[in-house]
Amino acid sequence: MIAKFYLLLFITLVLLTSCINTKKITYFNDLEKATGTESANRLQALKVQPGDILQITITTIDKDISLILNPAAVKSSPVSADGMDPGYIVDSTGYITLPMIGKVYVANKTTTEINDIITQELNKTIRNPYVSTRIANFRISVLGDVARPGSYRISGERASVLDALSMAGDMNVTALRNDIMIIREVNGEKTYASLNLNNGNTLASPYYYLHNNDVIYVKPGPNKQFNTSKIVQLLPAAIGILSLITTIVIVSVK
């Protein structure tokens, strides 16, 4: 009788822990036994869009001119929000306004291109200026079946979908890994794409590396309602209780 009970318990545990296929919760299954490299040519630099905040630092030989060109140094910068470094908001027409220069068109340009444009303007009146530009409000949002959904700030200018999922505590075991939706705004229009993180070809997708204000939506799988992960977490406690009951039954029979 006791032997049959333990056999039934063992079968039950096996069924519960095998509800989710291991291949469905791992990334890039087809790369497990392969090696390869990703071409750097695929890594396109981010292009500035209206609504972005640019932190622009200009250094010159003349300290007085540098102070004029860098209002943040005297705490009079046009923008300072969310505790981020102050900067210049790109308006709806794609322009920013800089001291001594005036309006500069920056939409759909990389930070390197913006550096060159500002440097060319400054060279007309200033000797050997140095310009550094970065996007100060680079944020992404992760929603859906992840451990910590929310909005996350990116410190650099490049972050991948995996970086975003890592910030959000990774996907839950119940999440669909073959249908990750990326929502992106380009030139005022919403675009979207689906990524399959079980497939290595995703690494070559233009949506694998994120843009400012991208939204990553992780869809829940069919096991979400069953919530297998919580059951697995509770299994040790359940086994302990069943073992205690079994011991009591054995002692009572004797």
Do both 125 and 196 map to the same domain? Answer: no
How many Cβ atoms are within 10 Å of 219's Cβ, its own excluded? 17
Within-domain flag for 189: yes
Q: Are 118 and 103 in contact (CB under 8 A)?
A: no
pLDDT of residue 109: 96
119 within domain boundaries = yes
Same domain (yes/no): 240, 123: no
Predicted local confidence at residue 77, as pLDDT = 42
Domain boundary residue, one of 114, 135, 156: 135
Shared domain for 29 and 74, answered yes or no, is: no
211 backbone φψ class: left, alpha, beta (φ>0; ψ -120 to 50) = beta
Sign, Cα dihedral of 170, 174, 176, 181: negative
pLDDT of residue 93: 94
Any domain includes 94: yes
- Any domain includes 146: yes
List, in order, residues 6 or more apart from 231 with CB less than 8 Å away: 16
The pLDDT assigned to 23 comes to 55
Q: In terms of Cα–Cα distance, which of 5, 18, 22 is closest to 177?
A: 22
Task: Say yes or no: 146 and 124 in one domain.
Answer: no
User: Do residues 103 and 146 share a domain?
Assistant: no
Same domain? 243 vs 203: no
User: Hey, what amino acid is at 88?
Assistant: Y
- Does 47 reside within a domain? no
Are 112 and 147 in the same domain? Answer: no
> Does residue 7 share a domain with residue 28?
no
CA 137 – CA 53 distance, rounded (Å): 6
* Shared-domain flag, residues 185 and 111: no
Of 80, 107, 135, the residue that ends a domain is 135
- Per-position pLDDT tens, the chain of length 254: 555 555 555 555 555 555 555 555 566 665 555 555 555 445 678 899 999 999 999 999 998 998 989 876 444 345 554 555 578 999 999 999 999 999 999 999 999 999 999 999 999 999 999 999 999 999 999 999 999 999 999 988 889 999 999 999 999 988 999 999 999 998 788 999 999 998 888 899 999 999 999 999 999 987 655 555 555 566 666 676 767 666 666 666 65
For residue 40, the model assigns a pLDDT of 44
Model confidence, pTM? 0.69
One domain, residues 102 and 90: yes
What DSSP letter does each residue of 68-84 carry, written as one string?
HH-GGGGT--SB--TTP
Per the CB < 8 A criterion, the answer to whether 13 and 75 are in contact is no
Residue 87: strand pairing partners: 79
Residue 116 in domain:
yes
Please give the torsion angle defined by the CA atoms of residues 73, 79, 84 and 89, in that order, rounded to the nearest 10 degrees: -120
Q: Do residues 34 and 99 both lie within one domain?
A: no
The residue from 81, 111, 135 where one domain ends is 135
Can you tell me which residue has the tokens 């992404």? 140
The whole-number pLDDT of residue 74 equals: 43
- Name residue 217's beta-bridge partners: 143, 181
114 in any annotated domain: yes
- Do 127 and 149 share a domain, yes or no? no
Give the total number of structural domains in the chain. Answer: 3
Instruction: Classify residue 46: in a domain, yes or no.
Output: no
Q: Which domain holds residue 104?
A: 53-135
